[in-house]
Chain A
Amino acid sequence: MGLMEKIFTRSWGVHPRDYKHPAADAPVRVMPMPERLYLSLAQHLGAPARPAVLVGQKVKKGEKIADPQGPVSAAIHAPTSGVIAAIGEIPAPHPSGLPVQAIILEADGRDEWSEALTACDNPLGLAPDEISYRVAAAGVVGMGGATFPSALKLSSSRKAGVTTLVMNGGECEPYLSCDDRLMRDKAETIIDGIRLMLHATGAKEAIVGIEDNKPEAIAAMRKAVAAHAGVRVRPIPARYPMGSEKQLVQTLTGREIPAGALPAEVGVVVHNVGTARAVSEAIRLGRPLISRLLTVNGGCVGAPGNIVAPVGALVEEVLAFAGGIEARPARLVMGGPMMGVSLPHARTPVIKGTSGILALNAAQAADSREEACIRCASCARACPIQLMPLDMARHIRGDDLKGALRLGLKDCIACGCCAYVCPAHIPLVQYFTYAKGTLAAEDRARQKAEATRRLAAARSERLAREAREKAEIAARRKAEREAAKAAAASARSAGEMSA
């Protein structure tokens, strides 16, 4: 970057205190299998999965228990062997705590793998579509948190003809270190997954972007990548939200993704390093995505660190395994502190996209009273999309959602930089999510009104048709009757004539 560019290019993002250590340096611990697992049917982006098992049915570890439903969906597998105890509602890992459909699995303690799983020794010999197919069968979703079904991304990237595979090792969220840990410990597996993804997408090169505050991960990945041409490791400046798709692609390739478009528009597809590992295990070992590495961190956690937890374990069990909590947390968060969701309580399960569980103390949660906006525009400077959060929030506060929409509300990625820097503690992201949610609800209401209008029109048309048909039948009958009468009359007259 030239000097002129440095002066005239707007800086974006923030440098939050990261709290990544010592959790990132502690060795990974594997959580023992809980007695019961709560497997949400909606733990991926898109339509919820449909149960493929019956209550009371015995399942083996890795056996599919729910089928994808619709074009965007993902399968769900049993994380251990056991019996299906129930299929019903559990509290969703979501701020609202509203119920979500789930399969409840009673572990039998034997943890037996299903025999149906097929390993593959020469995966690069498989057809690209076969890789996508197997990834779909393993229920792999994006591990960075967005949980988009990975197979779909692989196959659509191939169709779109992407040239570059960008691997997201940014992990710019504070507190989280599971990707860092994974790259340090499983670099070989990740690289293998990347090569499989290159094969599946048809991309020519892969760039692994790793923030420069993770030197061990960079070293480990560089070592693992040395033998493979076409895969490069690139350190990138540590800055939040570097791990956001638009920012990462621009930093690594210099290409700007058009608003509302996918990275494929500029020939790029982005995957998380955790996804690469899941892809490798799905293809090489035939193992579906049934557990994940996640960071347990925060001021209230007894022993912060990275833990391998089965999907469906309760948050409270994970916290208890991680040394328990030392004080009542001010906030319980699933995901990172910048974009994660607050949980209403800990009796909600880990899902495939759970990158972290944070029990934050009051100082970390920084819960503060909203004050008046002094228009300092710190938010505008921090916004990576170059929006004007202060003006958008003003419009939303004044119930002028359309005004906020004109200012680019749809382009907001809810990264939280604005609210993080706001000296008035204005919950800007909350304003924006509220506005987006309200607008979406209005859209749905409009669509429904449209649909019901069509139904009503169809009905009145039907009623009219029925009335018409009835009238026609009545008219025909009448005509027939009259014709018969006339015929009889003419017959009679004819008879008279002949007589």
Chain B
Amino acid sequence: MSELLLLLISTALVNNVVLIKFLGLCPVMGVSRNLESALGMGMATTFVLTLAAAASWMLEHWLLVPFGLEFLRILTFILVIASVVQFTEMFVKKISPGLYQALGIYLPLITTNCAVLGVSLLNVQQAHGFFWSLAYAFGSAVGFTLVLMIFAGLRERIALSRVPAAFAGAPIAFVAISLLALAFMGFSGLNVQG
């Protein structure tokens, strides 16, 4: 139990997908303009990531390895991820049209969120078991959501600040996220394995 908790902390904070591994930066920059859509995006990504990790684990262990098809790994993973994203898209459109509109193009773009594929591949690479894979994916997704939320909060505040014209928009967002990354560096070397 405590190991699982440590894994979650490790993946969410110490090895944060966004700020330490630099995966999935596109939605972080794109959907962090307001908190509600950031939360929605975080939830959608968490959903996709966890589901994709489960599906890719099954794919890896029940299909690719038995048939010696490891060379198809990336291809099949992308296929699975794309399907999960499609499903999520329909789901979000059904239950929250407002969120669907707010997320816009970034929702189908979860497909190309490298964090999703990256985590699935890392799971294979590090030979995680099924539940461990799930936890790893979930922890990563929580880390992603955390950063997305924090960053959205910061951007909401910055949006109402008197940022000089030269820095307004994307530049100041990059400055802010780099300072956020500095803050996360404090967790580096956090000895969570005990």
Contact = CB atoms under 8 A, between A and B. Distances in A.
A–B direct contact (CB < 8 Å):
yes
Interface of A: 372, 394-395, 397-398, 400
A394 B160 CA distance: 6
B159 interface: yes
A397 B162 CA distance: 10
Interface string B152-172: 000000011010000000000
7 contacts: A372-B162, A394-B160, A395-B160, A397-B160, A398-B159, A398-B160, A400-B160
A400 B156 CA distance: 12
A400 B162 CA distance: 14
A109 to B, nearest CB: 61
Interface in B135-194: 159-160, 162
A394 B157 CA distance: 9
Contacts of B160: 394-395, 397-398, 400
Contacts of B159: 398
A407 to B, nearest CB: 12
B10 to A, nearest CB: 34
Contacts of A400: 160
Contacts of B162: 372
A247 to B, nearest CB: 30
Nearest to A398: B160
Interface string B25-66: 000000000000000000000000000000000000000000
A397 B159 CA distance: 11
Nearest to A395: B160
A27 B159 CA distance: 57
Contacts of A394: 160
Nearest to A391: B160
B2 to A, nearest CB: 36
A71 to B, nearest CB: 41
The 4 A-B pairs with the shortest beta carbon distances in the complex, nearest first, are A398-B160, A394-B160, A395-B160, A398-B159
A424 to B, nearest CB: 13
A398 B156 CA distance: 11
Nearest to B162: A372
Contacts of A395: 160
Nearest to A403: B160
A159 B159 CA distance: 50
A395 B159 CA distance: 10
A398 B161 CA distance: 8
Nearest to A393: B160
A285 to B, nearest CB: 58
A134 to B, nearest CB: 54
A414 B70 CA distance: 70
A295 B159 CA distance: 46
A392 to B, nearest CB: 11
A71 B122 CA distance: 75
Contacts of A372: 162
Nearest to B160: A398
Contacts of A397: 160
B185 to A, nearest CB: 26
A372 B159 CA distance: 16
A126 to B, nearest CB: 59
A391 to B, nearest CB: 9
A122 to B, nearest CB: 64
A398 B160 CA distance: 6
A213 to B, nearest CB: 40
Interface in B68-96: none
Nearest to A375: B157
A395 B162 CA distance: 12
A398 B162 CA distance: 9
A200 B162 CA distance: 56
Nearest to A394: B160
Nearest to A372: B162
A479 B160 CA distance: 73
A323 to B, nearest CB: 47
A372 B160 CA distance: 13
A173 to B, nearest CB: 33
A397 B161 CA distance: 9
A400 B161 CA distance: 12
A50 to B, nearest CB: 47
A163 to B, nearest CB: 45
Contacts of A398: 159-160
Nearest to B159: A398
A433 B124 CA distance: 61
A403 to B, nearest CB: 8
Nearest to A396: B160
B37 to A, nearest CB: 15
B81 to A, nearest CB: 36
A370 B17 CA distance: 43
A395 B160 CA distance: 7
A297 B99 CA distance: 58
B34 to A, nearest CB: 10
A375 to B, nearest CB: 10
A400 B160 CA distance: 9
Interface string B116-130: 000000000000000
